[in-house]
Structures are given as C-alpha cells and as structure tokens.
Amino acid sequence: MAEIVVTFPDGSSAPVEAGVTVAEALRAHRPEAIEDGLAAKANGSLVDFSCPLEASASLSVVTFDDPEGAELYRHSTSHILAQAVKRLWPEARYTIGPPIEDGYYYDFDRDEPFTPEDLEAIEAEMLRIIGEDLAVSREVLAREEAIELFEQLGETYKVEILEEIEESTVTVYRQGEFVDLCRGPHVSSTGTIKAVKLLSVAGAYWRGFEGNKMLQRIYGTSFPATEALQAHLASLEEARKRDHRVLGRQLDLYSIQDAAGGGFIYWHPKGTVIRKVIERFWEDEHSRRGYELVTTPHIVRDRVFRASGHYDFYRDSMYVLNIDEDEYVVKPMNCPGHIMIYQTHLRSYRDLPIRYAEMGTVYRYERSGTLHGMLRVRGFTQDDAHIFCTPEQLNDEVLGVIDLAQFMLETFGYKDFELDLSVRDPAQPEKYAGGDAEWAMAEEALAKALAVKGLEANRQEGEAVFYGPKIDIKMLDALGRGWQGPTIQFDFNLPKRLNVTYVGHDGAHHHVVMVHRTVLGSMERFVGGLVEHYAGAFPLWLAPVQVRVMTITDAQQTYARELVSAFEAAGLRAEADLRNEKIGYKVREAQMEKIPYMAIVGNQEVTDRTVSVRTRGGRDIRGMGVERLTAVLQQEATSRTLTSLLQEAENGGGSD
C-alpha cells in the first residue's frame, strides 16, 4: 500500500499508509494529542477522526478550547437531544439543530407542547444515550437515497431540505438507531459529551417565516466538565437577574404596548430621564468636537431612497405609505437627509470637514419572532453622524471618531472592547463600489488610526459592505458580554450616486470622502445594555432619582420638603417619601428601586438641620450637614464618576 506523509503543528512529520483514518495516524504518532481531541484539521479543513487520509496532509487536533471545537461539541449534543426526543416521543418530527453561542437548539414538530417536566425527562434520556457511548459514524449517500431514507422514517422536514439541495450526494450521521442529515463533522461517540443541561423551550416558525408552521425549539448547552457547566449556569442566572426586560418593568423605565404593536418602545418618565441625560451629554460633547446638530423629517418621498439605492436594498424592511398619489417612506436611515442638507450650498475644500450629527429616529420592519425588548425593535433612535471631508483630512477624522467613541463609552463605564476591521475580499474587487485606490486609502486610514490609538482589531476580509470598509466596536459589559456600539463606515457609493461634491484647490468638483458613524448605536439598545451592565443600579449621573428624602413620622414633612427643594435647586433629581409607613419598609423599597442615596430625617435631624444618609449599598452615615451632602452629590453627578464620592469621603475608598 502506498505511503503518504502526515505533518504535525510542530513541523515534524511521519509516514503513514494511505487510507488510514485521522485517528489511526494520530494514535500511531501523537497519542497524547487525541486524548482531549474532538476532531481534526487536515490541510486546514475540519474533519472527523474517522476521515480516511488518501494524500499527504498537515494535521492538527481540535479541542473544546478552540472555537470550532466548542461548536462541534455542541452540534453533536444537539443530535443527542434529537435522539432523546425521538426515543420518548416517536411521533415527533425533527427539523434543524445548529450550535449557537454557548449552546445549541433543536426544533421539533410535536402536537403537545413540551413542559418543564418533559425537559427533565429529555435531559435524563440524553444522559442515558451518553452513557451508552454510541459510535457516531458518517455516511455518504446519493441524494435520492437519502430522500428515500427520510421518507421511510416519516421525517418530512428532512425530505423538504433534501429536495432543495443541488448536490448529487449528501452526508448523514448515525448513532445507534438515530440518523440525521448533516455535513458534520462530529465527535466520535456520544460518550465524548460529558455535562449537558436543557435551558428552555420556545416557539419558532419553520425556517423563520411567519407563514410556516410554528415549531417548538428546545435550547440547551453542554461542557466537557460539570464544573464548567455549573459556572456557565451561574453566569446565566446572573444574566437573568440583569435582564433589561425584567428590570425595565421593576424600575418603571419603559413598556411595549401590545395593543399598539410590537417593537416600539414607550419610554416612561424615569426611562425618559435616563434618555434625556444621555442625549444632552451626547449633544454637548458633539458640539464641543465640531459637529453641527441637524434634524430631518420622519417621512420622505420614496424617490429619495430610490436615488440613494436604499429602496432596492431595504424595500422589504421599509414602512411605505401613499400620500397625494405619491409613495412615501418612513425613513429607515438618516444619511440621505444629511446629504440633502449638505447639498443646499456649494461647498469648497475650505468648508470641510463638515460633520452633521442627529439623534434621528428611524423605522425598520423586523419579524415579530426576532423582536427582543429594547435590543431588537422596529422603531429606534440612532446617534447618527456623517462626516464630509477631503482625502487629506481622512486620517484625522477617523482618529477623532475613535477618540470620541472611546471617551463616550468609558464615561458610561465600558472599559473593555472588541474591535473588528472589515475590509473587502481582495480576490473579488468587482463586488465592491469604488476603485482600488479608494479602498486602499480607506482601509489604510482605518488601520493607521487603530495603530495610532494602540488598538488591536480582528481583520475580517470579505466582511466589508459593498460600499466601503468599516470598524465595529463591541463593548464588553460587567458579565463580559459584547454589545455592538460604535461603527465607523466609509461610503464610496452615495457620494458618487448622489453627486456629493466640493470644489477643490484646482477649482474642479471632487466627490467628498463620506464617513457614516455612530458612537452609541441606537438609544434603545444602548439603554437596554446599560440596564444589564449596571443591573439597574445606575451611577448617580444617570439615575432617574438621585436622592429620596424619607420621613420617620409625619412631624418631619415640612423639613423633608425643604430638603427636596434645596436638592433640586442644586440641580439634583430628588423626591420625598412622606407616606405613613415604617422607615425600614421605605428603605427596602428604595433599595429595590436602586436609588443611589436615601436622606432619612427624624426629629433629631430636624433639630440639628442634618440628615442621616443611607446608600443603596447599605452604608449609613449619620448626622451629615445638608450643604456638605449637596456639595458631594453635585460633584459626583457633574463629574460623571462611576463610584460613590460620598462613601469614599467617609471611608477612604470603595463604591456601592
């Protein structure tokens, strides 16, 4: 039999017989590597351990610690989930079961809804399947043969998928009595999976289309060790406690009115306070950095978006209406409006850069199944801005946007970020607007700005949109979760399509360099993220109510009202709780509402003209002068510090 050569990651190599499996080659020459391995990469392609090697190859092992390994591990677990459901309810039909971030799901067609008790039974059956350590094998079938197989099994959803596949052959994976249509790869046996947990069940339309049948989607997760699973479940529990949908109701920040339609946020008074504080800060900082604030209409003739090209691309996501025999669009983005303002005057290179900024509310159709609290909505307000500049100004403008984005996010308490630099696929330049020189200039400007700021970004080739490269910044919250925030996006399409120009040094008209950018994203998503980042306990400058004055008896009501007036005169958001309730009850209620400071007054405080302060973290400071308290809270609020200056003043450090 012919020999081939296997090369390992350390550069060493070894001869093996052609046709041996990946597992056999590894056991012969790298037995230690296969112990924790789930699959392998042969010449960079992910393959099963059972894959035969027919030609020389570079070989490496994939473990759970590799992104592909964790995905493969959980995909294999989803097959175990489907097998368990089929054992318990043979009449159920299985559809698709992909891995997702930190877990997996599988969709089932079953007449009866799955109950919490059913999930427990399924999980127990999954553990039995794992204990059976069933071999997982890959088979290549002709497409017609696979269709016949799944028709015999009564799995109509698999047949539907197969009928749309153009390839003449497909792969299936078997484990015991269970078989699934799948590209793979997978683990070698069910016993490879160790710790599993089913998390929830939800409805999901087949293939995501509302006109299709509603299926039942079971979510789960899995890990190679029980300790890792327990840590993950603890993290999920903490995330549930921080869920903005729960805290939004508890703190009375916002609501979604089903009678008025899903995906639209009704900002309550306290939520509106947070929003307005952010907007004022945003406006002041943009004005300070040379942006001009503009406001554009919500409804625009369709011809504007046809001219920009958005109509053809976004038509299915637009809300369209007819007025006076003309078609109008509820605007899905702000950029055409900013361009029209720019074009009201002839612009010279001396006028540039021009930076227009707007808190612009836009509307986009989202399927009802994708809506999610404040994070995925149909109407949202973007902190949008567009920069019109010359090529020579580009580097400084990008640096300015990055600096602004960092400043804004760090002010809100986000210290850690993940960045992506999305560039075009150099092998397919024909798919992108703009010439090679323009793309080289734009990509270099973005990369150079990141280098100057000392920021590392994941370079994503082929991930740029057709009209330009971009930087995406994800802010990591208190649980290490990424939230999409700032975006810096070049546009080679609109300046040419809409003839957005300036008069250059040479007296000729040149197309502007146009930069789209946001530094927060949408207000809805940003505030929802802040709720979860702080678990509703906002720093003082963002808190809807900054200090609540509480009376012990009715005798202190006059003094309490005086205190509220004094706090308000100092620019603080204050209110009084004058109810005839026990002070312990009032304090607990304020702590549930996550109010930063409680000013408690009894007869002694009235006599001494002082207050007893309690922080939401539970620290008590007795007999504090009102002027001193006011001064410290003013400083904490205006400096936008994330810590309690009052507590630091009392004990030399720390925060609530």
Tens digit of each residue's pLDDT (9 = 90 or more) over 144-203: 999 999 999 999 999 999 999 999 999 999 999 999 999 999 999 999 999 999 999 999
The burial class, CB within 10 Å (0-12 / 13-18 / 19+), for 428 is: exposed
Q: Where are the beta strands (DSSP E) in 506-637?
A: 509-511, 513-522, 547-551, 574-577, 597-601, 610-615, 620-625
Mean pLDDT estimate for the chain: 92
Residue 100: pLDDT over 80: yes
pLDDT of 370 reads 80
User: pLDDT category, 110, cuts 50, 70, 90?
Assistant: very high
Residue 651: pLDDT over 70: no
pLDDT of 484 reads 86
Over range 37-46, report the average pLDDT.
92
User: pLDDT category, 618, cuts 50, 70, 90?
Assistant: confident
Residue 626: pLDDT over 60: yes
| HEC assignment per residue over 335-355 | HHHHHHHHCCCCCEHHHCCEE
pLDDT of 652 reads 47
User: pLDDT category, 316, cuts 50, 70, 90?
Assistant: confident
- Lowest-pLDDT range of 100-114, 141-155, 428-442, 561-575: 428-442
pLDDT of 613 reads 95
pLDDT of 573 reads 98
- Lowest-pLDDT range of 104-113, 400-409, 474-483: 474-483
Give the integer Cα–Cα distance in Å for 283 and 210. 40
Residue 412: pLDDT over 70: yes
Helix pair angle (394-411, 269-288), 10° resolution? 150
User: pLDDT category, 426, cuts 50, 70, 90?
Assistant: confident
Give the integer Cα–Cα distance in Å for 334 and 330. 11
CATH architecture for segment(s) 3-62: Roll (3.10)
CB 531 within 8 A of CB 579: no
Residues 584-615 have pLDDT tens digits of: 999 999 999 999 999 999 999 999 999 999 99
Residue 209: pLDDT over 90: no
Number of residues that this document lists for the chain: 656
User: pLDDT category, 47, cuts 50, 70, 90?
Assistant: very high
Per CATH, the homologous superfamily of domain 258-296+334-533 is: Bira Bifunctional Protein; Domain 2 (3.30.930.10)
Count Cα atoms within 13 angstroms, Cβ side, for 321.
Answer: 8
Query: What is the per-residue DSSP string for 272-295?
Result: HHHHHHHHHHHHHHHHHTT-EE--
CATH topology of 3-62 equal to that of 258-296+334-533?
no
Give the integer Cα–Cα distance in Å for 541 and 537. 11
Give the integer Cα–Cα distance in Å for 402 and 519. 9
CATH architecture for segment(s) 67-241: 2-Layer Sandwich (3.30)
Give the integer Cα–Cα distance in Å for 474 and 454. 16
Would you tell me how many other CB atoms lie within 10 Å of the CB of residue 136?
Answer: 24
CB 25 within 8 A of CB 6: yes
pLDDT of 654 reads 38
Residue 371: pLDDT over 80: yes
The one-letter amino acid at 446 = L
pLDDT of 649 reads 60
Higher per-residue confidence, 108 vs 415:
108
Over range 368-375, report the average pLDDT.
85
User: pLDDT category, 125, cuts 50, 70, 90?
Assistant: very high
Q: Where are the beta strands (DSSP E) in 111-243?
A: 136-142, 169-175, 178-181, 195-205, 214-223
Q: Return the CATH class of domain 547-651.
A: alpha beta
pLDDT of 650 reads 61
Give the integer Cα–Cα distance in Å for 62 and 66. 6
pLDDT of 656 reads 40
Give the integer Cα–Cα distance in Å for 296 and 294. 7
Give the integer Cα–Cα distance in Å for 241 and 220. 19
What amino acid positions are annotated as catalytic residues? 335, 364, 382, 384, 386, 470, 516
The one-letter amino acid at 101 = E
Locate the domains of the chain by residue range.
3-62, 67-241, 258-296+334-533, 547-651
Would you tell me how many other CB atoms lie within 10 Å of the CB of residue 563?
Answer: 23
Higher per-residue confidence, 30 vs 104:
104
Which stretch of DSSP H or E encloses residue 224?
none
CB 77 within 8 A of CB 104: yes
CA dihedral of residues 539, 540, 543, 547 (deg, nearest 10) = 140
Residues 61-84 have pLDDT tens digits of: 999 999 999 999 999 999 999 999
Residues 435-462 have pLDDT tens digits of: 888 888 888 889 999 999 999 999 988 8
493 CB-near residues (< 8 Å, 6+ apart): 309, 433, 434, 466, 467, 468
Please choose, from the candidates 541, 635, 528, 515, the residue with its C-alpha nearest in 3D space to the C-alpha of residue 281.
541
Please choose, from the candidates 104, 216, 113, the residue with its C-alpha nearest in 3D space to the C-alpha of residue 157.
216
Give the integer Cα–Cα distance in Å for 326 and 336. 18
